[in-house]
Structure 1
Amino acid sequence: MTRALPDPGDIVRTGVVGCGLMGLGVVELFARAGLDVVAAVRTPEAVERSRDRLGESLGRSARRGKISDEEVSACLDRVRFTTDLFDLADRQFVIECVPEDRAAKTELLGELDGIVKDPDAVLASNTSSLSITGMARSTDRPGHLVGVHFFSPVPAIPLVELIPSLHTDPAVVERTARFLTGPLGKEVIRSADRTGFVVNTLLVPYLLSAVRMVESGFATAEVIDQGMQRGCGHPVGPLRLVDLIGMDVVSSVADALYEEFKEPLYAPPPLLNRMVEAGWLGKKSGRGFYTYAQGRP
């Protein structure tokens, strides 16, 4: 039986830029909430690839009994993929989910500021570490830019970090919070605009410590993960988590934290940097601290 969708409130037309792991998860989240979605990618090949991956993800949810086959079709009908940013002109909420690169995100938000026509539209960044205040300088409406940090997998993880900049209008913060908790059904924690926000400021030093243990030969990835899972009750060990997040993402967040605070515990270990250079990015590349066959270690 098809479930009733929540009241979407005043935001019904959404846009997502970037359809990597995080971006496509946000697209699926919006579609399953009954929202109209325009998803912008770089190339026509990425359009086809993203549409196929979305269908596969929704299909897995249907096979697990989380949604019906009718809902899968309805979700796909709600999403339009495009290579033209100007297709986002009528959106009420647009979130960028491009890789964690300050210059790229800042440039993109400046472009979106000139494209999105609704003067009340919310522009959001899904950054996991970068300054919202710094990126807001690229727009003519810094009061409407806010950080919205989802966690992967986006449809499954209930938490979202909401980060206003020094410029963000309090009314925009409240409107975004209602959007996240209402139709999207998320739990929201608010963070000050400082690198790493709440979760990554605590999480990343822990992950880097685990990498250093492997690097020094003190313990293997398997031993470290078993220790934290069986000894501390963590659902997944730190090295498996690094693989799931991606070496490149962990390294980028660590770089941003170290740049801001200059604390040695935030500096990415050489082993992490070498693995990024080798293209061993974790589960998404098939090799990290573990090797993966069909997504399984």
Structure 2
Amino acid sequence: MTEKIFKINGIDICTESFGNPTNPAILLIMGATCSMVYWDEEFCEQLANTGKFVIRFDNRDVGRSVAYEPGTSNYTVTNMAEDAIGVLDAYHIDKAHLFGMSLGGMIAQIAAVKHPERVLTLTLLATSIIGSDNNTRDLPPMDERILTHHANGKHLDWTNENIVAEYLVSGSRLLCGSKRTFDEKRVYNQVKQEIERANNLLSMFNHALLQGDDAYEGVLHSIQAPTLVIHGTDDTALPFEHGLALIDEIPNSALLTLEGAGHEIHPDDWEDIIHTVTEHTAKIIEK
């Protein structure tokens, strides 16, 4: 694996790659408040071993990428999609497979709408439809326990690394599906990396200030890239119905249901996810 920081759209974006750069590229885009370390290194290596050049990166305000003052709003989800395309430019990649989780899936949708010539396939994991915040889809909301957990962060002593680590681990525990075993040691190691790598840990909450965009309401039908939707039936952040809504609105889309999985990339599901993504992306490679 090789870590590089590029100047993209005038800001620092930290990236890391796995595998042979001559292989077809797959860009991993993580969700809100999480850096690229939540794409497990072992997961990335296994994906690269299927014949992919895997790139993960830190979005704005997380990890080693640019960090703005906490509590400020300096960009949109569209800006983040342009960052993703900028990562491809930095690696001199014309076209790539995009794999986004949660907010990362919404970023990937925008990239596919705005830059269809750059996107070979889409894989959307534990995500929802990008569009207006005032839509009429009536999709189920985030679990109240998660909202309460986020609210409790306001009262945390963020100078105490142990307290912060436990808070972040407990947040991940809330996202674990009822039929998955929560691996506290693995998550704690991720959290420690998150704390140690962050330019400003509190900046991650700037992602909570991001809003939907009316400009993308009703445009998912224009996505040309073959799309794989992966969703756990026990997702408490973006319930399963959000994945079904994506299937309804994106043509040429298929669903991989993770029975009992939550809002997570659980190691128990890696084999299934990687196998299905490999088959999904191979349809394009063979053409």
Q: Which TM-score applies when normalising by structure 2?
A: 0.31
More strand by share: 2
Return the structure number with greater relative CO, CA threshold 8 A, min gap 6: 2
Could you say which structure has the larger radius of gyration? Answer: 1
More helix by share: 1
Q: Which TM-score applies when normalising by structure 1?
A: 0.30
